[in-house]
Chains A and B, each alone.
Chain A
Amino acid sequence: MIFNMSDKDTITAISTPPGTGAIAVIRLSGESALEICEAVFVSPADKELTGQDPNTLHYGTIRDEDEIIDEVVVGLFKAPHSYTGENLVEISCHGSVYIQKRILELLVSKGARLARPGEFTMRAFMNGKLDLTQVEAVADLIASGSKAAHRVAMSQMRGGFTEEIKKLRDKLLTFISLLELELDFSEEDVEFADRSQLKVLLEEITRLLQKLKNSFSLGNVIKNGVPVAIAGKTNSGKSTLLNLLLREEKAIVSEIEGTTRDAIEDLISIQGIHFRLIDTAGIRHTEDAVEKLGIARTLEKIRQAVVVIHLLDARLPAEELILQIEHLEGYSGQDEKKRIIVLNKIDLIPDDSLDMISREIENHLTKKDYLVSMSAKKGIHLDRLEKALIEAAGMDTTSENDVIITNVRHYEALDRSLSAVRRAVDGLDHGIAGDLLAQDIRETIHYLSEITGEITDNEILGNIFKNFCIGK
């Protein structure tokens, strides 16, 4: 998108989410924001908006000629002290879609232009109101549907994220200064830190970067939903379970084996946390090309998932069920995945045989696995499954102050700096020469600077001259 700097026109948009709510906010930003609003706004005391102080609220009505459309409260902000840095008016009206639409049309008829997506934020950015990381956080904030995502976006806006990176960067700068000192001034009478101290520092940095990178995957998960694969033999009740969770008929349910050929994804929210549910085609041996494809995709989905719900038909003998568990382990691998074993269809077996099967299966599970017995069809013990999901996703441990990175750009920069730091640690272990080591450190700093927007150039030499006696 080419952002045209001459765009000085006034833009407007409904700033609250689409649909009907108690109230809605319509924003108007640009040089003539106040004048345009003035043209449709009438206050009881007939005061003129343009003459009012900034940062004030005004009650009145929006009218189309003589017709009163709604009673509203208008907030006034003047350039440069507004969100966008321009003159800004916020009209709070009632939430009806009809009213919102009428007011918007009215504003356009008086000279405002409908804003393009993100244009308010873009203007704020161009006018120096937000830095890049904040813009990204705002975009996330707008997109965030869940509580956790909102929390992440808010903390990023407060700059917590940039702070942590800055701290890292400072440490690296000290390090590189020592290294450069050693390289450029080794002929001179200076002392520098020994290699083992440098290694400790590098390892500390690696840990911090890794933590940030991990928090990214958590951040990503919060934004896009925790990917949960629902796996199990054909007819173990996967689609029924999915439908139960979705409480609507989205996946194709049928008694005929193999109806659910494709992986279907849907988003649900449990206690404000998003889960992306992936129904999977049953895994079995087949010659059917389409079905083969479905199975391949299933396996891929299982590999991507953070949590796997493995559905078992409780009517089958315990040995058979354990075989199924082992079979799936072969596919999904023994990585960081959390596994919830669901003994389904418990309404169809007696309690004592359930106890027995449960015990046998439990013996086969590890501490990080969950075992839930339920009936998807009857909706028995759904609460247990939901509780297991939240725990398995590790969401209950997300504290508000944790730095969570949610942006791909940052992730890439982190990833690259991490691999550079790792090369440096590796090099240090192999007694690599300082100039080569410095290359890796410089790369790390470069990528971190991409995030924080700071300049490295003269800092290194500045550090050296400040802290060391240089010069014959």
Chain B
Amino acid sequence: MRQEIYDIIVVGAGHAGCEAAVAAARCGAKVLIVTIDMTKIAQMSCNPAMGGIAKGQILREIDALGGHSAIVTDESMIQFRMLNKSKGPAMWSPRAQCDRSLFTLKWRFILENTDNLDIWQDNVNELIIKKKIVCGVRTKMGVTFYSKAVILTTGTFEEGLIYIGRFKTNGGRIAEPNSSGISWQLNKEGIESGRMKTGTPARIDGRTINFKILEEQHGDEDIRRFSFMETEITKKQRSCYITYTNEKVHEILKQGFSESPLYNGTIKGKGPRYCPSIETKIITFGEKEQHQLFLEPEGWKTNEYYLNGFSSSLPLDVQYKALRNIKGLENARIYRPGYAIEYEYYPPVQLNLSLESKIIESLYFAGQVNGTTGYEEAGAQGIVAGINAAMKMKGKDPVILKRDEAYIGVLIDDLINKGVDEPYRMFTSRAEYRILLRQDNADMRLTPIAIGIGLAEPERERIYNDRNRKRKEIKKFIENYSITPEKANSYLIRKNSSPIRQRIKLIDILLRPEVSIEELRESVEDLNIYKKDQKFYDKELWESVEVEIKYKGYIERERMLADKVKRLNNIKLETDIKYDDLKSISTEGRQKLNKIKPETIGQALRIPGVSPSDINILLLYMGR
């Protein structure tokens, strides 16, 4: 067989692998993506949903950077909701239920139609590493591919072990083989690995669910795009349903605990605290009489429902018995049981901020192998690893997003500097500059970077420039337009807002908390001028400008704090500092500083175990 030589090989075609491969190819690299099963590309292994709190923001950031997860989400969406709409603008989070099969097909279409990108279906079981530099992969079928860089995105597949009660089998997902060999090889090369655990609930036959007695959860009427591109989105939607466990269900589940791999010591890997199995919920929060469950449809043309909140690795018969005691599921039949999976991950403190290994050159890690969880978190790392592998090949600087620039920046910075001790999921509270990192301004924050490195296609650049121009126009309009009492007062009175006596600038009314630009636009005929002259009814852009005006004080204060930290970031730390001599720094602080060897004071500040007073000592040491 002819041996092709690639620039970059991506091992695994999940959410991380797909983003990495397409980004690298679009940056000009010749790329090969290897997957065990081409029908499972970008499979949603767990719930059929994208976005949500903090994750929706990440999805929009991936898009703003020129990624495709948001586009695929838009195209496979079966329900849309903007979460947290009643809270402040930092919290507005788009979430979508997706058609699982469509999602895979759309991604596969993108991969198959990306120039410079080849696909190979096979199982990689060895890396080719020479003098601590990676230069290719070997597969189970005995094929060798050479390359300048390799991106490892094996998700839960590397040494994956599946548990259902006492039943245990090798696998990367239920009914799919795992991969093996790479972690063993990497351990020998000096890269540490560990075990993590996650789980998924049973999938139920919709024909056996009594929806009539369940609470229905509709999608929003106002369906938004995740992508900043002009994607086609659905108009009709499917509903989710809400039900609850009860004490009877808990009793039944408890009877199975002796056979639970989580509690009889079979599973050693650490699972996520924020996504516990139903058995963990019952043990940890024994006083709660019920737990909420969601029934989420898996697609347009399937009866399959995902039972969100009921993740379990108890024996099948226990799962069944418990399930049938839940309201609405009295006669339910299961398509596939819930299971737990344990897999290999590589502690991410062994990486640079570019996601390249500190130990093996040109080897990049992205996604669940870095100890994260979530499609969005994986995709985010994927696109960054793809970009940076391509940048390295071109001899350019890596793209490193900062904590005040993107959730993706927060994510990678946390992974590299803090490491993980449980599967890492993004929360808005992990970001210190949440008000800067909104879903509505992701394009403003990141698309210029995508344009700079050539990842943004001409269409994206055009849309960005167009939006930018419109933003400025809207802002100018709001600042300069005077509104008369006759036009404004009926609306203001309706909103319990004090009426105006004379002409007043639009911006001054908008600063009132109870006033919204959208409602104002609907009530005041003159304000509809922008509605007429654009192809898309761009409510979103008006909203975004409104946020910048209304929350100016908070935005500016956060900007100020971010800039203060930036100054600390600029204070370089020499790499040969003997931290052991700085006895005033706590023992833990010294150990962590020695291990991570931060490049700047700012980086040192974010290492867990290094306290602000340790930083003061460092500053003192440096004569500041």
Q: Given that A442-B432, A454-B611, A465-B274 are contacting pairs, would A435 and B88 also be in contact in the complex, using a CB cutoff of 8 Å?
A: yes
Q: Is A154 part of the contact surface with B, judged by Cβ < 8 Å?
A: no
- Which one of A23-31, A49-57, A186-194, A292-300 is at the interface? A186-194
Interface size on B, residues (CB 8 A): 58
- Compute how far the CA of A188 lies from the CA of B614 in the bound complex, rounded to whole angstroms: 38
- Of listed A129, A131, A183, A438, residue having the most chain B CB within 10 A: A183
Q: Is A470 part of the contact surface with B, judged by Cβ < 8 Å?
A: yes
Q: Given that A85-B583, A126-B584 are contacting pairs, would A469 and B551 also be in contact in the complex, using a CB cutoff of 8 Å?
A: no
A472 lies within 8 A of B275 (CB): yes
Indicate which residue in B285, B427, B561, B616 contacts A443 across the interface (CB closer than 8 Å). B561
Q: Is A258 part of the contact surface with B, judged by Cβ < 8 Å?
A: no
Q: Is B536 part of the contact surface with A, judged by Cβ < 8 Å?
A: no
Q: How far is the CB of B434 from chain A (nearest CB, A)?
A: 6
List chain A residues, Cβ under 8 A from B620.
3
Q: Mark B408-433, 1 if CB is under 8 A from A, else 0.
A: 00000000001000000001111010
List chain B residues, Cβ under 8 A from A188.
292
B276 lies within 8 A of A471 (CB): yes
B54 lies within 8 A of A471 (CB): no
Indicate which residue in A5, A434, A453, A470 contacts B91 across the interface (CB closer than 8 Å). A434
Q: Is A184 part of the contact surface with B, judged by Cβ < 8 Å?
A: yes
List chain B residues, Cβ under 8 A from A3.
620-621, 623
List chain A residues, Cβ under 8 A from B461.
none
Q: Given that A453-B612, A471-B275, A471-B309 are contacting pairs, would A5 and B623 also be in contact in the complex, using a CB cutoff of 8 Å?
A: no
A180 lies within 8 A of B88 (CB): no
Q: How far is the CB of A449 from chain B (nearest CB, A)?
A: 6
Q: Is A256 part of the contact surface with B, judged by Cβ < 8 Å?
A: no
Q: How far is the CB of B279 from chain A (nearest CB, A)?
A: 12
List chain B residues, Cβ under 8 A from A455.
608-612
Q: Is A397 part of the contact surface with B, judged by Cβ < 8 Å?
A: no
Q: Given that A435-B434, A450-B612 are contacting pairs, would A469 and B88 also be in contact in the complex, using a CB cutoff of 8 Å?
A: no
- Chain A, 1-36, CB within 8 A of any chain B CB: 1-3, 5
- Compute how far the CA of A438 lies from the CA of B91 in the bound complex, rounded to whole angstroms: 12
List chain B residues, Cβ under 8 A from A180.
427-429
- Compute how far the CA of A439 lies from the CA of B613 in the bound complex, rounded to whole angstroms: 22
- Of listed B90, B273, B613, B620, residue having the most chain A CB within 10 A: B613
A470 lies within 8 A of B581 (CB): no
Report, as a range, how many residues of chain A touch the other chain.
35 or more
List chain A residues, Cβ under 8 A from B434.
435, 438-439
- Of listed A85, A131, A460, residue having the most chain B CB within 10 A: A131
Q: Is A436 part of the contact surface with B, judged by Cβ < 8 Å?
A: yes
List chain B residues, Cβ under 8 A from A469.
276, 281, 284-285, 288, 291
A132 lies within 8 A of B616 (CB): yes
Q: Is B77 part of the contact surface with A, judged by Cβ < 8 Å?
A: no
- Compute how far the CA of A188 lies from the CA of B291 in the bound complex, rounded to whole angstroms: 10
Total A-B residue contacts, Cβ distance less than 8 Å: 133
Q: Is B308 part of the contact surface with A, judged by Cβ < 8 Å?
A: yes
Indicate which residue in B47, B273, B554, B608 contacts A436 across the interface (CB closer than 8 Å). B554
Q: Is B294 part of the contact surface with A, judged by Cβ < 8 Å?
A: yes
A434 lies within 8 A of B561 (CB): no
Indicate which residue in B47, B52, B583 contacts A126 across the interface (CB closer than 8 Å). B583
Q: Mark B63-93, 1 if CB is under 8 A from A, else 0.
A: 0000000000000000000011001111100
Indicate which residue in A5, A186, A436 contacts B88 across the interface (CB closer than 8 Å). A436
- Compute how far the CA of A431 lies from the CA of B513 in the bound complex, rounded to whole angstroms: 10
List chain A residues, Cβ under 8 A from B614.
453
Q: Is A67 part of the contact surface with B, judged by Cβ < 8 Å?
A: no
- Compute how far the CA of A454 lies from the CA of B616 in the bound complex, rounded to whole angstroms: 12
Indicate which residue in A2, A187, A461 contacts B623 across the interface (CB closer than 8 Å). A2
B583 lies within 8 A of A439 (CB): no
List chain A residues, Cβ under 8 A from B551.
436
A436 lies within 8 A of B435 (CB): yes
List chain A residues, Cβ under 8 A from B606.
457
List chain B residues, Cβ under 8 A from A470.
273-276
Chain B residue nearest to A468 in the complex (CB):
B285
Q: How far is the CB of A413 from chain B (nearest CB, A)?
A: 11
A430 lies within 8 A of B513 (CB): yes
Indicate which residue in A5, A125, A126, A435 contacts B428 across the interface (CB closer than 8 Å). A435
Indicate which residue in A129, A132, A187 contacts B83 across the interface (CB closer than 8 Å). A187
List chain A residues, Cβ under 8 A from B617.
125-126
List chain A residues, Cβ under 8 A from B557.
439
Q: Mark A112-155, 1 if CB is under 8 A from B, else 0.
A: 00000000000001111101100000000000000000000000
- Compute how far the CA of A68 lies from the CA of B273 in the bound complex, rounded to whole angstroms: 74
- Compute how far the CA of A436 lies from the CA of B275 in the bound complex, rounded to whole angstroms: 26
Q: Is B582 part of the contact surface with A, judged by Cβ < 8 Å?
A: yes
Q: Is B53 part of the contact surface with A, judged by Cβ < 8 Å?
A: yes
- Of listed B89, B90, B418, residue having the most chain A CB within 10 A: B90
List chain A residues, Cβ under 8 A from B513.
430-431
- Chain A, 98-114, CB within 8 A of any chain B CB: none
Q: Is A363 part of the contact surface with B, judged by Cβ < 8 Å?
A: no
- Compute how far the CA of A461 lies from the CA of B422 in the bound complex, rounded to whole angstroms: 12
Q: Mark A414-434, 1 if CB is under 8 A from B, else 0.
A: 000000000000000011111
Q: How far is the CB of B234 from chain A (nearest CB, A)?
A: 22
B583 lies within 8 A of A471 (CB): no
Q: How far is the CB of A323 from chain B (nearest CB, A)?
A: 47
- Compute how far the CA of A443 lies from the CA of B288 in the bound complex, rounded to whole angstroms: 34
- Chain A, 350-373, CB within 8 A of any chain B CB: none
Q: How far is the CB of A448 from chain B (nearest CB, A)?
A: 10
A433 lies within 8 A of B291 (CB): no
- Chain A, 244-274, CB within 8 A of any chain B CB: none
Q: A132-B616, A435-B91, A454-B611 are in contact. List 12 more A-B contacts (CB 8 A).
A: A2-B623, A5-B581, A126-B583, A183-B429, A187-B52, A438-B429, A455-B609, A455-B610, A455-B611, A465-B273, A471-B275, A472-B294
User: What are the 6 closest A-B residue pairs judged by CB atoms, nearest first?
Assistant: A433-B88, A453-B613, A189-B292, A2-B623, A435-B88, A465-B273
Task: Identify the B interface with A (CB < 8 A).
Answer: 47, 52-54, 83-84, 87-91, 272-276, 281, 284-285, 288, 291-294, 308-309, 418, 427-430, 432, 434-435, 513, 551, 554, 557-558, 561, 581-585, 606, 608-614, 616-617, 620-621, 623
**29 A/B residue pairs, CB under 8 Å, sorted by A:** A3-B620, A3-B623, A126-B584, A126-B617, A128-B583, A132-B616, A180-B428, A184-B54, A184-B427, A184-B428, A185-B53, A187-B53, A189-B309, A431-B513, A432-B88, A435-B87, A435-B89, A436-B88, A436-B554, A449-B612, A454-B611, A457-B606, A460-B429, A465-B273, A469-B281, A470-B276, A471-B275, A472-B275, A472-B293
Task: Identify the A interface with B (CB < 8 A).
Answer: 1-3, 5, 85, 125-129, 131-132, 180, 183-189, 430-436, 438-439, 442-443, 449-450, 453-455, 457-458, 460-461, 465, 469-472
